[in-house]
Amino acid sequence: MFRRWLKPEPVRRRFNSDLTGRPHPIFFPLKTRDTVISLDTRLTTAAAFKALYDTTGWGPPERDTDYYARALAGSWFSVSAYAGDELVGFARVISDGHLHAFITEMIVAPAFQAQCLGSQLLDAALAACHAASITDVQLFCARGKQGFYEKHGFLPRPQDGPGMQLVTGV
């Protein structure tokens, strides 16, 4: 089996992020009202993460908050999106910090989907990987979301391999 490596475009940031942990407000006009969404690179709480995670149907809702606290503790990078105090989007990366990174969660609450928020979260995660000179970024995408990741430069793996992969030259 051969892989074709494409020279990717540089990662483009779509918002002002210096990755220092300060919130970054972004203005999103929604259909019924205008909502200010702020991005924050500080790790969210386990309770907020569990509440958002439970909207996906990916895991049993009876998992306790400690389960999610232990998962968050292994994060290399994360970015949270808040509408007021409510966590409405979240992306998390685990990594060795040099060679490989794996995007473990990319979640946007159903009411906030199709508003470019997922792109903002993904761009922040990729910018952190780029800043660390990580050139191999991988993820598993949810059913029906492959096109979203392809728009961001990810390539599907062969049919006999899971996930998708983005390899960038720094």
Q: What is the pLDDT of residues 48-87, one digit of tens each?
A: 999 999 998 887 889 999 999 999 999 999 999 998 889 9
Beta strands, E only, the chain: 24-29, 34-40, 77-83, 86-95, 100-108, 136-139, 155-156, 164-167
- In the chain, the domains with their CATH numbers are 24-134 (3.40.630.30)
Q: What is the pLDDT of residues 100-133, one digit of tens each?
A: 999 999 999 998 988 889 999 999 999 999 999 9
Provide the b/e sequence for 124-162 (b: ≥16 CB within 10 Å). bbbbbbbebebbebbbebeeeeeeebeebbbeeeeeeee
pLDDT, residue 61, reads 86
